Amino acid sequence: MLRVENIDVYYGMIHAIRGLSLEVNEGEIVTLIGANGAGKTSTLRAISGLNPIKNGEIFYENAKVDSLDAHKLVGKGVSQVPEGRRIFGDQTVEENLLLGAYLRKDKTEAKKTMEEVFKRFPRILERRKQMAGTLSGGEQQMLAIGRALMAKPKLLLLDEPSMGLAPIIVEEIFDIIKEIREQGTTILLVEQNANLALQLADRGYVLETGSIVLSGNANDLLNNEAVQKAYLG
Ligand code: ATP
């Protein structure tokens, strides 16, 4: 479904991503793990068209997409939940969700999707008229995921959904991610919490200073000595 081939990303002189390749098949949860600054966000932003790539190619559903604008990719079914959620704090929960459907022409259909999102996130439903900035961190993460779902994505790119949240909320969010996959959405999950991410995922990639150093079945990675030492404490 998604194939990233040998990409490089630079920020000025900084060579942040170095010859990175990865693949996500339809129906999978694939996780990209790595320490702070390894390049996880840069990779995700390259895929979603927010970071230009210097070399290499990105294919989605067998079409080359690395020169597409980010919104075109959303139209093709790829949505991103950005790091730090990026919700609009001075707009209501409902307004935030509708922003996620901005490309959808049929607004009645969008409203229907919103009801589906509310069904998945009852906590958000109770707060639909509330300013998003007044939500708790966990609720904001749910809203950010809900907003991405408003575009009815086939592939969901999640950037560190566990960031800054209490373990019990993280568990709740990860259960939701699992459900989203069960209902047919493919997921690429970027995480610093390698333990949880590998427990949830089918396959994983380990990123170090901009390159993939290890990849494979998530279970194998969980049991891998080098991964345990570096990422699982
Ligand atoms: P984190 O978990 O801290 O977000 P990450 O694995 O997502 O880390 P990136 O944010 O992709 O890592 O950063 C990879 C490298 O690129 C880092 O060395 C970072 O300092 C650098 N970098 C990221 N964004 C920029 C930018 N806009 N300008 C310059 N350098 C950047």
pLDDT digits (tens, 9 = 90+) for 128-150: 999 999 999 999 999 999 999 99
Least Cα distance to 178 among 163, 161, 194 occurs for: 161
- For 18-45, what is the mean pLDDT? 96
Whether 67 shows a pLDDT value over 90: the answer reads no
* The pLDDT value given to residue 232: 79
Atom of ligand 1 nearest to the CA of 159: 7
d(CA 103, CA 106): 9
* The pLDDT value given to residue 110: 86
Whether 14 shows a pLDDT value over 80: the answer reads yes
CATH (one of 3.40.50.2020, 3.40.50.360, 3.20.20.30, 3.40.50.300) for 26-50+70-231: 3.40.50.300
Token code pair at residue 203: 């396959």
Least Cα distance to 4 among 226, 216, 203, 188 occurs for: 188
Least Cα distance to 147 among 191, 186, 181, 103 occurs for: 103
Q: Where are the alpha helices (DSSP H) in the chain?
A: 40-47, 70-75, 93-99, 107-120, 122-125, 137-149, 167-182, 194-200, 218-223, 225-231
d(CA 39, CA 121): 30
Choice from 14, 18, 44 to test ligand 1 binding pocket (greatest atom count within 8 A of CB): 14
ipTM for the whole complex: 0.91
Choice from 42, 45, 209 to test ligand 1 binding pocket (greatest atom count within 8 A of CB): 42
pLDDT tens by residue, 181-214: 999 999 999 999 999 999 999 999 999 999 999 9
CA dihedral 132, 136, 137, 138 (to 10 degrees): -100
Atom of ligand 1 nearest to the CA of 42: 11
CA dihedral 87, 36, 162, 42 (to 10 degrees): 50
Annotated domain spans of the chain: 26-50+70-231
pLDDT band of 3, cuts 50, 70, 90 = very high
d(CA 65, CA 126): 38
Instruction: Please tell me the distance between residue 85's alpha carbon and the centre of ligand 1 in angstroms.
Output: 17
* Rg value, the chain, Cα: 17
* The pLDDT value given to residue 230: 86
